[in-house]
């Protein structure tokens, strides 16, 4: 393991110095007059929080631009899959991050978001994130903790990239980004992606309606205010778009709403790759045994349903990749599934359910030079964010995406 990490460190240094993006940290002359986009993720910030809480800096962005009734996540409504969908315009079944933790039967290996070696291995990822699109087209980009940004996907890292460290204070994150935006025009990133985890952590520990979530939301609101004030003091202030998103919402959980999979079926020969509001099962014994397990689960469980991968509802867009597993269990809102050994002992919160569950809907706000002020748009799928970011930056989006060029931009321009 130590040798692997040393090799990875050498690889990162090589990438940072030689790929460090296709731009080598210098904007092409044609890109220097383009706008600036600051994409900010507030993990776990469900749409309802924006209506329920008094958050003056989110309100500043809302008044200056538009916000959505709710942005609809992709399935499963979990952190890594949806952060990568937002920046690629692909559903998880197409970009490869089908869960926060998953097993790839073709590689005979697993990926988990807590494994820094896997996270930084570009071979796990498909699609082209917006920072790679920018760098390939001569535009300098930066990413501060955005999931997937530590891997040289498509042969390029962002020119500015920070490896995730949850201990870094929010003020330090904001000040680093402001320093990037204060660089000379030739080196200044036109795209910056940022990430804050406070609200998600409070929601998991305490549930979405707890006062701790309100406090966490106020903390990130203060960080947003620091960023807004800092940008307002820069010469580029009139050329900056702020795009505020979340990866998913949050719903209440409790021990009484938990199902232990190993009390429902014989789990011998079953790899449980991920669990919670949904579970991904890789089954030895082929489709015959997979059907037996599916039927056994469905006979015994009242608040969810098991499917063969090919049977999953079409609106989930979750069947194309073998990483998804042979059997997928989709739980009803609030209910979770796992093993008896990992049964929760306290109430809390989680996410991962069907994107149609309103509590899973995330925030979306945008303000900037061409955005109507104080308007609202209906809910839309988060696959539409990537082509919209490309539109704002004057970039040509990657081909073969699930999102639609011009759709979100048109929705915003027609907002009432």
* Rounded Cα distance, 140 and 128, in Å: 15
Q: Which 3 state secondary structure label does DSSP give 46? A: strand
The answer to whether 187 touches 140, Cβ cutoff 8 Å, is yes
23 is catalytic: no
Catalytic residue among 4, 11, 79, 263: 79
Cβ proximity of 378 and 68 under 8 Å: yes
Q: Which residue has the tokens 């990490």?
A: 5
Report the alpha-carbon distance of residue 190 to residue 30 in Å, rounded: 12
Which residues, other chains included, contact 394 with Cβ-Cβ below 8 Å and sequence gap of 6+? 34, 35
CB 70 within 8 A of CB 51: no
Longest dimension (CA), the chain: 65
Rounded distance, CA 267 to CA 279, Å? 13
- Tally of CA atoms within 13 A in the half-sphere of 190 that contains its CB: 30
Q: Which residues are catalytic?
A: 79
């Amino acid at each position: 393991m130590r040798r692997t990490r040393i090799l990875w460190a050498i690889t990162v240094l090589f990438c940072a110095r030689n790929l460090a993006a296709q731009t080598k940290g210098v904007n092409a002359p044609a890109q220097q007059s383009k706008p600036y986009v600051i994409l900010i993720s507030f993990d776990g910030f469900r749409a309802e929080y924006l209506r329920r809480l008094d958050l003056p800096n989110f309100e500043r962005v809302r008044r200056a631009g538009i916000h959505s009734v709710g942005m609809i996540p992709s399935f499963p409504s979990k952190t890594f899959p949806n952060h990568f969908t937002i920046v690629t315009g692909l559903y998880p079944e197409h970009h490869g991050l089908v869960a926060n933790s998953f097993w790839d039967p073709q590689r005979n290996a697993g990926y988990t978001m807590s494994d820094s070696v896997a996270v930084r291995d570009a071979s796990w990822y498909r699609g082209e994130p917006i920072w790679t699109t920018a760098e390939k087209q001569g535009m300098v980009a930066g990413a501060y903790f955005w999931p997937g940004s530590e891997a040289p996907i498509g042969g390029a890292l962002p020119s500015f990239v920070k490896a995730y460290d949850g201990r870094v204070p929010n003020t330090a994150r904001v000040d680093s980004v402001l320093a990037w935006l204060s660089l000379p025009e030739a080196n200044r990133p036109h795209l910056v992606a940022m990430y804050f985890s406070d609200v998600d952590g409070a929601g998991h520990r305490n549930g979405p309606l707890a006062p701790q979530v309100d406090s966490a939301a106020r903390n990130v609101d203060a960080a947003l205010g620091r960023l807004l004030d800092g940008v307002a003091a820069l010469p580029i202030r009139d050329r900056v778009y702020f795009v505020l998103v979340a990866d998913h919402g949050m719903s209440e959980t409790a021990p009484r709403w938990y199902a232990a999979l190993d009390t429902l079926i014989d789990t011998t020969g079953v790899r449980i790759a991920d669990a919670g509001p949904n579970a991904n099962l890789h089954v030895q014994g082929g489709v015959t045994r997979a059907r037996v397990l599916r039927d056994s689960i469905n006979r015994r469980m009242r608040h969810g349903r098991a499917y063969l991968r090919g049977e999953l509802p079409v609106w989930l867009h979750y069947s194309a990749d073998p990483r998804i597993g042979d059997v997928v269990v989709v739980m009803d809102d609030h209910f979770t599934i796992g093993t008896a050994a990992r049964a929760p002992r306290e109430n809390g919160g989680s996410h991962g359910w069907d994107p149609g569950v309103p509590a899973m809907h995330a925030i979306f706000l945008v303000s900037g030079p061409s955005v109507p002020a104080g308007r609202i748009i209906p809910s839309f799928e988060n696959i539409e964010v990537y082509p919209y970011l490309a539109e704002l930056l004057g970039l040509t989006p990657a081909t073969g995406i699930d999102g639609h060029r011009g759709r979100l931009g048109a929705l915003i321009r027609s907002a009432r």
